[in-house]
Structure 1
Amino acid sequence: MNKSEFLSHLYSHLSVLPPEERDELMEDYENHFAFAEQNGKSESDVVRELGDPAELAKEAIGERNVHPPDPVYWMNPEHFSAPATELTDSRSQNGFTKAMIYTGLFFLNLIVIPLLLSCWASAVSIAVGAFAGLISPLALGLEFIMKGSIQPIQGFASIILVGIGILLMILARYIFNLLVRGSMSYWKWNHQLAKGVQVNEQ
């Protein structure tokens, strides 16, 4: 270890001292090296005589009663963990909230699900009526084949039924789209609400 390395190590170990005292000590050691060199000693000889810079710094710091600064806590360590009573109260409140939400969902579904099923049944009946109106010309054709003749009023009625069937088919398609979106949205809402309760509980 040469002079520069020795002084560099010593300076780093004296970092806890005030700048004025540290600079004063560093100046003393630099003068010691300069005086020894004037008397014909080499840098390695001086380093060997002085010893470990860490030990020298430790002695210098001990003489001045300098201690490393205490760690600064931005929060009280006691606040890092909640007391057991608070955790128990929080868990009991979460359990009560979870039970209330699930109970509310249960009774809500008892009302909403039958309504959705009735809406689906109505949509299916409309679709069946539309299909019946659209195939009315086929029924009229079968009657013509079997009887050999049909009444003009039956032809007009068949045309009217086809028109009604087309309108009902459009209506059924619109209702089916609404029911699909509504049912999916309601299911997702139930799922997200239940999932949110589970996440908060964790």
Structure 2
Amino acid sequence: MMKDEFLKILRSHLRKLPEKDRQEILSDYEEHFQHGFHNERTEGEIARSLGNPKKLARELMADYHLERAQENQSIVSLFRAAFIFLGLGFFNLVVIGPMIAVIALIFSLYVSSFVLSLTPLFVVGSLLTVNSLMEFLFNLFTGLIATGLGILLGLGTIRFSRAYVKWFVRYLKSNLNIIKGGDKHE
């Protein structure tokens, strides 16, 4: 494979990256070829030493999405990075099920927190129809307790989801290092 063909394949598989990032990567590989020419290597030798451009592009895309997931720490960026990693290794298929389950759990905790936090709206309606002072106080304090639990659950869920995203990004990084054949502790 020649230099132009290698760069063309790499460019086509990196088309989903922003233009600036794609150009930076391509110029880096252009430099690899220039360095190889200075060491009197042929285009074919350099291209072979760099590896398969399709596989290289998948790894670069995974790196990019992993960095985005680490910067944004959102569930959406985590999903993007995880699905890119599915293409890199078959054993990641085992992880996707539990990942989706934990994300569903986080979503349900957010919904529960939101609903519990809205109980004062429901309590106000019930306070208008009570028959006794005891029933009034019971409804009032039950609503306040539910609101407090909703707020606490929401705060706990935020902390849990942030910790989960950080853990999963670390998992994806170590996974990428294994796929690349590098040291897990880089």
Name the TM-score class by shorter chain: 0.3 to 0.5
Taking structure 1 as the reference length, the TM-score comes to 0.39
Taking structure 2 as the reference length, the TM-score comes to 0.41
Q: Which has the larger radius of gyration?
A: 1
